[in-house]
Homo-oligomer: A and B are copies of this chain.
Amino acid sequence: MTDAEHKTEDDDRVFKALAAPIRRRMLDILKEAPRTTGELCSLLPEVDRTTALQHLRVLEAAELVTGRKVGRERHLALAPLPIKRISDRWIGEYARAAVDLLGRLEGE
């Protein structure tokens, strides 16, 4: 497999992970603060624990969430690098100021 094919597979994992509203909500929750698995599940009462853990595995496989074992618990955190890669790919370092300005103008 070529580097480009590997890259497309990694991208696919990220974009497929982001395609589900429940997984985007999990990232929103983890952006506020790191959480244990139990805390995260209790903040998502609309899905059962098994379903929540499945979604979590998809996010971890895409490297959007990192988990660290602390005693009996796992501490989960948002991992922003895949998001940064999306932003760099289509906005880029140098265009940021212009896009920020455009965003502010549209918000008015």
Contacts and interface: CB of A to CB of B under 8 A. Distances in A.
Contact of A81 (B12, B27, B81, B102): B102
A78 interface: yes
Nearest to A27: B90
B91 A87 contact: yes
A58 interface: no
Interface residues of A, number: 29
A28 B86 CA distance: 11
Contacts of A103: 81, 84
Interface of A: 8, 11-12, 15-16, 18-19, 21, 24, 27-28, 31, 78, 80-81, 83-84, 86-87, 89-92, 95, 99-100, 102-103, 106
